[in-house]
Every structure is written in structure tokens, then in C-alpha cells.
Amino acid sequence: MGSALTTIGLPVALGIIMLGLGLSLRVGDFTRIAKHPRAVFIALVCQLLILPALCFGLVLAFDLSPVLAVGMMMLAASPGGTTANLYSHLFRGDVALNISLTALNSVIAVFTLPLITNLAIAYFMPGGDTLGLQLSKTIEVFAIVLLPVAIGMFVRWQWPSFADTMDKPVRVASVVILIVVIAGAIVSNLDMLLENLGQLALITVLFCLLSLSVGFFVPRLFRVGRTQAIASSFEIGIHNATLAIVIAQTVLGNTELSLPAAVYGVLMFFVALAFGFGLRAAYRRADAHEDAAHSDAASDAAQPTGGAGRA
């Protein structure tokens, strides 16, 4: 479980992917988001308030052991993972919003992750250890997300035609890298996954689905645009499981505490993919019905009235 893939390989691979995402971004993407802060505010409320409450309810409903319960709460308090940017990119979400949310969540998580984890330890494991502020881990998340994106944006600024030419190849390469990462994560965590599948698989899948759904439908209820809601969904639904694993093992020194994040870190790839394709299919049908309705309305408007026909 503490393999090089999860602790080193995965962040490096995602950093390479983020470089490609930066090629598709302009500074104007961020200034546009600053003019529409509602989507950011709603996403942060979902991430910081709704998700921990939902996770707490799931933990109580599944009656997990105290250590696994704390591990689930730590996962809920973790910021969005860099993989969220890739999924948003693949499913046509507002990637600039994803990157802004990742940056904001990473800063806020310096305070909220220890707070929520400490509260969970106090509730489920009275007298247990507390979690210190992991500023170095936040800096690591910033480096993985922002540095390669900044390089990609610089390339687009200097050589825009090259960035446009590379857009499609980078999208294809992103899918290939994603498949490799998923396969590697399964292989490296296979024994752990099989051993804890019965106890943790269902709750982590449900938590992922709830996170994705909250991240999409709550913003839509407040009339946030579709692409921003997609970005919010993946940002909220895909947590930084690697960060939770590293904190559990290195800061608290408890391997069992990292099991929920490890199981979630494997299964979330499939859940998020299924959710993304489900959204795409639903909106294709909705768009098709809307186009058909517009076509029928235009046809009716073009047809002469009964009186005009007799004349």
C-alpha cells in the first residue's frame, strides 16, 4: 500500500497530465471565474460543510470500527485531488475553476483537515493522537497542480499555435496515462483491496457517488452553469487519497487508518468515470430533445395558418 506508485509515481504522472492541461488554459479563464464567484462559493460550502456531514452519517450507518471511521473522516476532509482536473478536462468541465478550487481547498485544508480529523479522533477514539498542520503536504499539492499548469500556460502564451496543435494529442495521452495509473493502482493495492473489500468497498463507493452528486446537483440548483457544475462535481467527488494515505502513515503512524483512503483511491477512478459518462449521456439526450423541440417550433411557425391557406 505504501508503494512508489501511490506515494511518488501517481503525483508525478498527474503532474505530467497537469502540464498538458495548462496548454489549454489562458489567464482570461481565471479572471472570468473571479467575475462569477457564486460557483466557487457553492463548491466550497459543499466541500467543507456538506461532505463531512454526509461522511459522518455514512460512518455511523455502517458502524465502522473507530480507526476506520477516523480514516473515512480524514478522507472527507482531504481537498480535491489533481485527478479531478483530468476528469473535468475529459468531460468538458471548467478546468480553470477546478484549478482555482484545488488551490483554495489546498490552503483551507491546512486548517480544516487537522480540525475535522481531530474532532473525529475525539469522537471515535477518545484519548487518541492529534494531527498537526501539514504545511509541507499542502505545498506538495500546490507544486503538483500549479507549477506544471503554469509552465503549460506559459507555453500557450509564447507559442499559441503550438498549444492548439497539441491539444488533441494531449487529450489522447491523458486517457492513456489515466489507464496506466488505474492499472498500476489496482496492481499495487490488490492484496489490500481484496482483504478489505467487504468492509470498505460499499461505503467508499457510496461516499464517492454522493460527493460527485452533491458537487454537481447543488450548484445546478443555484443555477450555476453546466460546465462549472461538472468541474465542481469532480473537484468535490475526487479527493486527494494519496495525501490522506501519507498523513495517516507518516504523521499518525497508523497503517489501518489509511485503509479507507487506499480503497477509495482505487475505486474512485471507476466511479468517477461512470458518473462522467452518465452525465454525458444524460445531457446528450436532453440536448437532443431540446433541439427536436426547437425544430418542431420552427416548423410550426413556418406553416401557413388555416385562413391564409384558404385565401
pLDDT at 301 over 60: no
Q: How many residues does the chain have?
A: 311
Percent pLDDT > 90 in the chain is 22
Residue 54's pLDDT band (cuts 50, 70, 90): very high
State the CATH number of the domain containing residue 268. 1.20.1530.20
- Which backbone phi and psi does 226 adopt, to 5 degrees? -60, -50
Does the residue 24 lie in any domain? yes
8-state DSSP, 252: S
What is the model's pLDDT at position 2?
45
Q: Could you tell me which residues come within 8 angstroms of residue 181 by beta carbon, excluding any fewer than 6 positions away?
A: 10, 13, 14, 269
Structure-derived torsion over alpha carbons of residues 80, 160, 92, 295, reported in degrees to the nearest 10: 160
Considering 54-58, 95-99, 298-302, the range whose residues carry the highest mean pLDDT is 54-58
Number of structural domains in the chain: 1
Higher local confidence (pLDDT), 43 or 18: 43
- SS3 assignment, position 243: helix
Does the residue 1 lie in any domain? yes
What is the model's pLDDT at position 256?
76
Does the residue 307 lie in any domain? no
Residue 309's pLDDT band (cuts 50, 70, 90): very low
Q: For residue 91, give its domain range.
A: 1-295
Higher local confidence (pLDDT), 266 or 193: 266
Considering 16-20, 63-67, 182-186, the range whose residues carry the highest mean pLDDT is 63-67
Model confidence pLDDT, tens digit, residues 138-182: 566 567 667 877 888 888 888 888 888 887 787 677 667 656 655
For the full predicted model, state whether its pTM sits above 0.75.
Answer: no
Does the residue 213 lie in any domain? yes
Q: Please give the full DSSP string across 208-224, using - where no structure is assigned.
A: HHHHHHHHHHHHHHTT-
Q: Please give the full DSSP string across 5-28, using - where no structure is assigned.
A: IIIIIHHHHHHHHHHHHHTT--HH
Model confidence pLDDT, tens digit, residues 70-88: 999 999 998 876 678 789 8
Does the residue 309 lie in any domain? no
- Among the residue ranges 5-14, 261-270, 301-310, the one predicted with the least confidence is 301-310
Q: Which of 101, 99, 85 is nearest to 26 (CA)?
A: 99
Average pLDDT of the chain is 77
**Taking a C-beta distance cutoff of 8 angstroms, is the pair 178, 16 a contact?**
no
Residue 311's pLDDT band (cuts 50, 70, 90): very low
Does the residue 306 lie in any domain? no
What grid cell was written down for 5?
506508485
What is the model's pLDDT at position 76?
93
Does the residue 286 lie in any domain? yes
